[in-house]
């Protein structure tokens, strides 16, 4: 750990994690808000996540981000003190210590909401198609409903998973049950205001074949993955007349939400985004 007592220590733990952009983002936020911090990358062995977390906080660390494949383990470690978002997401990406106890939140959904709003597509009153039924999709369902989505239809390559996820969420959130439904990719028909790709299809250069999907005027197609060039999902949506965005803004906004939890100050994501986009294009 750094010997400078005024420097707060943060890190992201994952495996693989070497290419994480979190240190650059958090150092930028630190400069912007005047908080002296050091943010590093910890690649944890797959079977040592718990001891890595314990050691980090025993050595005085202030806050830890958690990424693939440890978000569920982080949820279990912090199970006594989870935010409602984390509880419903079943995953934790932000850990901190308070009164000697580990606390956890999931800021992915907050990040998505912030980015949708930045792009002029507040989910309030919107019909939303959510593509995917894995961890990434689960993490954003409650935030989208809480933000006032009028409809949230989940479709997935394995239809059963989407139906089950919609059912579980409806059970846990009875007030929102009538907005929720699930089905297969062949059941994507509708006139959608926002279509979110929460699958990992873009990572393999594919796009989910969405049957019957229609984009309302001014509709946004949002890929939670980010890339130097538009993903196949974004290209297909653009050809249908939708506005498009990738998940770089969500990445920066979820980091900003973690930063705010740890430091009590909300950083501005706007100055960070162009810089990151430039780095992404150059990489």
Quick check: 201 binds ligand ATR (CB under 6 A)?
Answer: yes
Distance CA 123, CA 140 (A): 12
For ligand ATR, which residue of 23, 90, 134, 184 counts as binding (CB under 6 A)?
134
Tell how many helices (H) and how many strands (E) occur in the chain.
10, 11
Min dist. Cβ of residue 140 to ligand ATR (A) = 10
Which residue sits closest to ligand ATR, CB atoms considered? Answer: 134
Q: State the Cα torsion 273-126-175-156 to the nearest 10°.
A: -80
**Of the candidate residues 14, 63, 132, 249, the single one contacting ligand ATR (CB under 6 A):** 132
Cα–Cα distance for residue pair 178/96, rounded to 1 Å: 35
Range 145-174, binding ligand ATR (CB under 6 A) = 156-158, 161
Identified binder of ligand ATR from the candidate list 133, 154, 188, 269, rule CB under 6 A: 133
- By CB under 6 A, residue 135 contacts ligand ATR: yes
Q: Token pair for residue 1?
A: 């750990």
Q: How far is the CB of 106 from ligand ATR (least distance, A)?
A: 12
Q: What is the dihedral of CA 264, 62, 147, 113, to 10 degrees?
A: 100
**Burial class of residue 66 (count of CB atoms within 10 Å of its CB; 0-12, 13-18, 19+):** buried
In whole angstroms, the minimum distance from the beta carbon of 69 to ligand ATR comes to 9
Q: Does 109 bind ligand ATR (CB under 6 A)?
A: no
Q: Which is nearer to ligand ATR, 136 or 147 (CB)?
A: 136
Residue window 212-231: x/- pattern of binding to ligand ATR, with contact defined by CB under 6 A = --------------------
Within the chain, residue ranges assigned H as helices are 22-33, 49-58, 71-77, 84-89, 108-118, 135-146, 159-172, 232-239, 248-263, 272-282
Q: Which is nearer to ligand ATR, 35 or 137 (CB)?
A: 137
117 makes contact with ligand ATR (CB under 6 A) = no
Toward ligand ATR, which CB reaches closer, 36 or 68?
Answer: 68
CA pair distance 250, 115, nearest whole angstrom = 5
Residue 204 is a binding residue for ligand ATR (CB under 6 A): yes
Is 8 a residue of the active site? Answer: no
Q: How far is the CB of 15 from ligand ATR (least distance, A)?
A: 14
The region, left, alpha or beta by phi > 0 then psi within -120 to 50, assigned to residue 79 is alpha
Of 94 and 199, nearer to ligand ATR (C-beta) is 199
Distances (CA, A) of 74 to 24, 89, 108, 176, 264: 23, 12, 14, 27, 22
Residue 103: CB atoms within 10 A of its CB come to 19
| CB of 22 or CB of 156, closer to ligand ATR | 156
Catalytic residues: 71
> Residue numbers of the site for ligand ATR (CB under 6 A)?
132-137, 156-158, 161, 199-201, 204, 206, 208
């Amino acid at each position: 750990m750094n010997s400078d007592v005024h420097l707060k220590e943060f890190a992201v733990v994952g495996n693989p994690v070497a290419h994480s952009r979190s240190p650059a983002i958090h150092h930028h936020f630190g400069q912007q808000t005047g908080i002296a911090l050091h943010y590093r990358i910890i690649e944890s062995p797959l079977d040592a996540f718990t001891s890595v977390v314990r050691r980090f906080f025993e050595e005085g660390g202030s806050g830890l981000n958690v990424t693939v494949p440890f978000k569920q383990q982080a949820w279990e470690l912090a199970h006594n003190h989870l935010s409602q978002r984390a509880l419903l997401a079943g995953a934790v990406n932000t850990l901190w210590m308070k009164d000697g106890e580990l606390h956890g939140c999931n800021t992915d959904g907050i990040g998505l909401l912030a980015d949708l709003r930045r792009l002029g597509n507040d989910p309030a009153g919107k019909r939303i198609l959510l593509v995917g039924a894995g961890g990434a999709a689960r993490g954003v369902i409650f935030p989208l409903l809480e933000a006032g989505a009028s409809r949230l239809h989940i479709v997935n390559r394995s239809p059963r998973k989407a139906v089950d996820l919609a059912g579980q969420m409806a059970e846990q959130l009875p007030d929102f049950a009538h907005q929720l439904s699930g089905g297969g990719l062949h059941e994507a028909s509708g006139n959608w205001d926002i279509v979110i790709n929460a699958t990992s299809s873009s990572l393999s250069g594919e796009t989910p074949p969405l049957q019957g999907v229609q984009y309302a005027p001014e509709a946004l197609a949002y890929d939670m993955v980010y890339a130097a060039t538009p993903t196949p999902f974004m290209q297909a949506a653009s050809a249908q007349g939708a506005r498009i965005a990738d998940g770089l803004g969500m990445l920066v906004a979820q980091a900003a939400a973690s930063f705010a939890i740890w430091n009590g100050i909300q950083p501005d994501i706007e100055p960070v985004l162009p810089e990151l986009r430039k780095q992404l294009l150059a990489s």
